[in-house]
């Protein structure tokens, strides 16, 4: 299913999840992992355990990226095309930025709307597909579900 653009930031399961860190001392969860100190300024914890974060969260803020973001957002198209970015609040209490899934834009987003993590191809290079996480609006993906009512 491709190679992650950044190794170790998300799982490669059929139901993928971001890999964060949980502080052994205070339980604060953050993403990405790899810090050597705790994000909690009150805490002096220095050991952390990997934790798979919630696959779903709620849109906290969103925007249209009119300018090319820095790595790892390698442009998939040339010339650069704007796309939507969402800041998503997870149950663990942190906010994770991500591109919005292919085919969705700011018109599909609303503050408080539920989104789900998906893994999509960011670009293709000599090693094949390179993948990144994105946020996909949940309501849109179930809009055709006739059981809703």
Nearest-approach distance from CB 45 to Zn ion, in angstroms: 3
Beta carbons of 122 and 2 less than 8 angstroms apart: no
- Phi and psi (nearest 5°) for 68? -70, 120
Beta carbons of 119 and 132 less than 8 angstroms apart: yes
Cβ nearer to Zn ion, comparing 5 with 23 = 23
Cβ nearer to Zn ion, comparing 43 with 138 = 43
Cβ nearer to Zn ion, comparing 46 with 142 = 46
Q: What residues line the site for Zn ion (CB under 5 A)?
A: 23, 25-26, 28, 38, 40, 43, 45
Nearest-approach distance from CB 130 to Zn ion, in angstroms: 33
């Amino acid at each position: 299913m491709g190679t992650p653009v950044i190794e170790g930031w998300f799982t490669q399961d059929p139901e993928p999840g971001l890999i964060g860190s949980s502080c052994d001392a205070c339980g604060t969860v953050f993403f990405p992992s790899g810090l050597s100190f705790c994000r909690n300024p009150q805490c002096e914890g220095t050991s952390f355990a990997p934790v798979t974060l919630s696959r779903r969260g709620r849109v906290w803020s969103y925007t249209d990226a009119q300018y090319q973001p820095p790595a790892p957002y390698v442009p998939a198209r040339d010339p650069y095309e704007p796309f939507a970015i969402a800041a998503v609040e997870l149950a663990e209490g942190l906010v994770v930025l991500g591109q919005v899934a292919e085919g969705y834009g700011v018109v599909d987003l609303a503050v408080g709307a539920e989104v789900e993590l998906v893994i999509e191809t960011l670009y293709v290079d000599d090693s094949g597909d390179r993948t990144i996480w994105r946020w996909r609006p949940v309501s849109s993906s179930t809009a055709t579900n006739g059981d809703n009512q």
